[in-house]
Structure 1
Amino acid sequence: MVDAGIRPEISAIIDRIDAIRPRLIASGQGGDQARRIDEEVFAAVVATGAFTVSVPERFGGLAANTREANAVARAIGRGDGSLGWVDGILDSGAWVVSLMDDRAQADVWGGEGGVDALISIVLATTSEAVLVDGGYRVTGRWAYGTGSMHATWSLLGIPLKNEAGDIVDAGLALIPTAELSYEDNWFVAGMKSTASVTQVAQDVFVPAHRVFPLTAAVEGGYLGSNSEATYQTVFVPSLFMKLVGPHLGMGRAALDFVISKAEGKAIAYTGYEKQADSAIFQTVIAKASVNLSAAESVAQQVADEIYAATVDGTYAPYATRIEMRAKAAWVVETVTNVINELVTAHGSSGFAEVSPLQRIWRDQATAARHGHTLAASGYEAYGKILLGREDDARFVLPIV
């Protein structure tokens, strides 16, 4: 297995994120209540360079490999899970644009925003697209628009049609957010401050070079000329791995918080004046730490497997991609279980609105239901693969 590693330039960004972690933690409650990430805090994360890591080097980015992008999102998620999730989505947008026609890339990063231009992404094709001279005219509504309130561009799913009006593929249309409106309908239990509103387009023209066909992309049919290894990696696994980092960060944040309170918090209705003195509590903490370390190791294993294929010049077949999907699901499920156990060990005070723990719990539980890493479908499909039923697996997860 090739070890992709983390370059010093990426490590420096992570160090800068770690340095402002107390600020991210402190702003979390306000962002949760306002349903918006604090603009000054968001700007502070932008200043670390976090949102440039997946931009191609020719535009001033770092062309991050999967492990590096994962580590950046994890660092942000350890301070604020919602902000880490926004990073994972915007990083996905940047990576996908890097696979598109070079003219589309120049539109995004060669303009006024430069390397700091941000791109949100929604894959669902909840829209109508009419083939016209030079491109498509698009009308639609897309939920959930995570990161769209900060983005200057959005990648939005559209049906691709031939001249007869028949749908022949699905695609992503790259549209300036200035040409979109939104409905502020993000009223949810967790991930509140992501402001994942519904984006709306009304008869917007999208030139052909800003349209990215997805069927070919799933099998590695990219359009850009970027030579860095990260832009040769397998499509769907590269995307779902970008959403694993925030989970790992939230798991660590929960453990950090529970440990920080253990010396000053009693266990109700017992003789323990300090949780830290209890053998049962100590066991919960130890198991949480071990399980999080295991989850981080599996995430790194999948990330390195994705990178190794580019060195070998191979593109992972469907069965291998399903195994990656199942492992990513296990990572997310493990974090969910760890946080649940930590919440129980900490006690009912963790559900106070002022406690970061209940927000971590809500945010991660909400993110864990994302279809990209949902455990049930990942395990079912992988089980079918192991039993020699690949056609049945493709029914469960046709696009991986």
Structure 2
Amino acid sequence: MTLTTADRPATAAAPTSDDLVARAAELVPLLRRNAETTERQRRVVEENIEAIQAAGLYGVSVPSRLGGLQTDLTTSLRVSVELARGDGSTAWVSTLMNVCSWMTGLFPDRAQQEVWGEDPAARVCGVLSPTATSRKVDGGLVVTGKWGFASGCLHSQWAGLGIPVVNDAGEPIDQGMALIPMSELSVEDTWYVAGMRGTGSNTLVAEEVFVPDHRILSVTRAIGGDYPTEHQDESLYRSALVPVLALVLIAPQVGLAKQALEIVKSSLAKGRGISYTFYEKSSLAPTTQLQVAQASQLIDTAELHMLRAAGDIDRAAEAGEYLDFATRARVRADVSTIARSCREAVDLLLNVHGAGSFAEANPMQRVWRDLETGSRHAVVNPEIGFELYGRSLLGVEEQITALI
């Protein structure tokens, strides 16, 4: 049985963007309490997942006609920032599952109904890299492969996985993303890392899994804004593919930098001094004041770049236009600027907080490791982002990646 909007019971007015951000902020104390357990267990504790689900925050990218909230990208990013103020791993997993739900909204209605028709609360994880083999059969492809770094795979019911699309002769003709139920996949426990330990970003495995044609999205066409969804009136699912996929990766980093600033300010408020100096209160030292101010400005810079980029994406989608190439290239550079600014901010805050930052009992060390790990995602690579933007600015036609 599938559900339409008419089948669903009447509900109260949809929450505003600020309402959803406030809900995320209310969860920060819980996520902080569970951060150590999440890291130790190498997966987000179920209490966090259930609380975020209860707050409706896994519905931000799900179509409203299928029980979701269908907000804009700006709202989704602001929610991610707040969650990362609580815990980086929880925010990362939640962000990736939400963006995979958004990608599911680009598929044909038949595929969307299979994901959410029976279960509007279904969550989706995903890996874009086509690390698999495909075999053409009647009505679809048979897929075998392994996909590493599958954030959210321990909490999802579906997975969107990169595959080569082949013809009858087995020749690659496209790159696709296949929607596959988690019940048809296995999970290899491979996630042993220094940072973002709690994300449980393990390896997904498929052995001769049949994927029907309607559950295969052409990534090549999607990069240019050609989405197969029949619901062309839904502006959220007109958003530009690569800018969305890149921008979501840095929202947790902004939240982590904010968390670091809060930790340092709280510590300074307790009147701690500077060891081996005459400063009985570190907050009275010009070096402390300058570094905290500089860190705060860097975090503001990161957030302002994030919101500008999200606003550009949202406005183009609302207008029914696909974001132009120059702006898409700039968004890749924005992502680079945000990652670099957050890392520099936390580095300054570590200077202020001192060597005690690295005590295992101090949450600063986890923030630092999570940020250093998350900001090294391949799509976030600052040098790559700046190079492709520079080529765009200078009119160099040959680019270094299709992901723009």
Instruction: Name the SS for the 1:50 alignment partner.
Output: coil
The alpha carbon displacement at 1:329 in A equals 1.2
2:36 is equivalent to residue 34 of structure 1: no
1:89 match: 96
Gaps of at least 5 residues in structure 1 are: 1-6
Identical columns (%): 38
1:373 to 375, 380, 389: 380
Q: How far does the alpha carbon of each residue in 1:320-371 deviate from its partner, in whole angstroms, 9 at most, with x for none?
A: 2111110121011101110111112100111011111110000011010111
> Any residues of structure 2 matched to 1:159-178 within 5 Å, and which?
159-178=164-183
SS at match of 1:353: coil
What SS is found at the alignment partner of 2:148? strand
Runs of 4+ in 1 over 3 A off after TM superposition: none
1:390 Cα deviation after fit: 2.5
> Alpha-carbon deviation of 1:61?
1.2
SS in 2 for 1:52: coil
The alignment status of 1:261 with 2:267, answered yes or no, reads yes
RMSD over equivalenced CA pairs, Å: 1.3
Q: Is the 8 A contact 2:27 2:83 kept in 1?
A: no
Deviation at 1:304, TM superposition (A): 0.8
For residue 398 of structure 1, the aligned residue among 393, 396, 402 is 402
Match of 2:158 in 1: 153
Q: Tell me the distance in 2 between the aligned counterparts of 1:141 and 1:99.
A: 24
TM-score by length of 1: 0.95
For residues 228-271 of structure 1, the C-alpha deviation after alignment (integer angstroms, 9 at most, x for no partner) is 21111111101111222111111100000010001332211111
Q: Give the SS at the match of 1:354.
A: coil
For residues 298-377 of structure 1, what are the structure 2 equivalents within 5 Å?
Answer: 298-377=305-384
- Decide whether the 8 Å contact of 1:185 with 1:197 is kept in 2: yes
- 1:251-307, CA deviations, whole angstroms, 9 ceiling, x for partnerless residues? 100000010001332211111122212121011111111221122111111111112
- Of 105, 120, 143 in structure 1, the residue corresponding to residue 148 of structure 2 is 143
| Counterpart amino acid of residue 169 in structure 2 | A
User: Which sits farther off after the overlay, 216-225 or 303-312?
Assistant: 303-312
| Structure 2 stretches lacking a partner, 5+ long | 1-13
Q: Secondary structure at the match of 1:262?
A: helix
Q: Structure 2 counterpart of 1:246, which letter? A: P
Distance (whole Å) between structure 2 residues aligned to residue 29 and residue 285 of structure 1: 26
* Equivalent position of 2:126 in the other structure: 121
Residue 213 of structure 2 corresponds to residue 208 of structure 1 = yes
**Count of residues paired in the alignment:** 389
**Which is worse superposed, 350-359 or 14-23?**
14-23
Q: Give SS of 1:243's match.
A: helix
Name which of 60, 64, 67 aligns with 1:60: 67
Partners of 1:307 and 1:39 lie apart in 2 by 32
Q: SS of the counterpart of 2:176? A: strand
Query: Any conservation in 1 of the 2:333–2:382 contact (CA below 8 Å)?
Result: yes
TM-score by length of 2: 0.94
Matches within 5 A, 1:75-114: 75-111=82-118, 113-114=119-120
Residue 8 of structure 1 and its aligned partner are, at CA, apart by 4.6
Rounded Cα–Cα distance in structure 1 between residues aligned with 2:64 and 2:77: 18
Greater RCO between the two (CA within 8 Å, min separation 6)? 1
Which amino acid in 2 is paired with 1:274?
K
Q: 2:101·2:123 contact (CA, 8 Å) conserved in 1?
A: yes
Judge conservation of contact 1:10–1:53 (CA < 8 Å) in 2: no
Q: Aligned pair 1:235/2:241, yes or no?
A: yes
For 2:237, give the aligned amino acid.
Y
Cα distance in structure 2, aligned partners of 1:383 and 1:13: 36
Q: Deviations over 1:65-111 (max 9, x none)?
A: 11111001111111001111111110111000000010010001101
For residue 254 of structure 1, what is the amino acid of its counterpart?
A
Q: Which deviates further from its counterpart, 10-19 or 22-31?
A: 10-19
Q: Which amino acid in 1 is paired with 2:316?
A: A
Separation in 2 of the partners of 1:17 and 1:92?
17
Which of 185-194 and 23-32 deviates more? Answer: 23-32
Q: For the Cα contact (< 8 Å) 1:103–1:209, is it kept in 2?
A: yes
Q: Which one is further off, 324-333 or 9-18?
A: 9-18
Query: What is the identity, as a one-letter code, of the residue corresponding to 2:194?
Result: A
Report the residue type matching 2:252 in the other structure: P
**1:213 aligned partner, one-letter code:** S
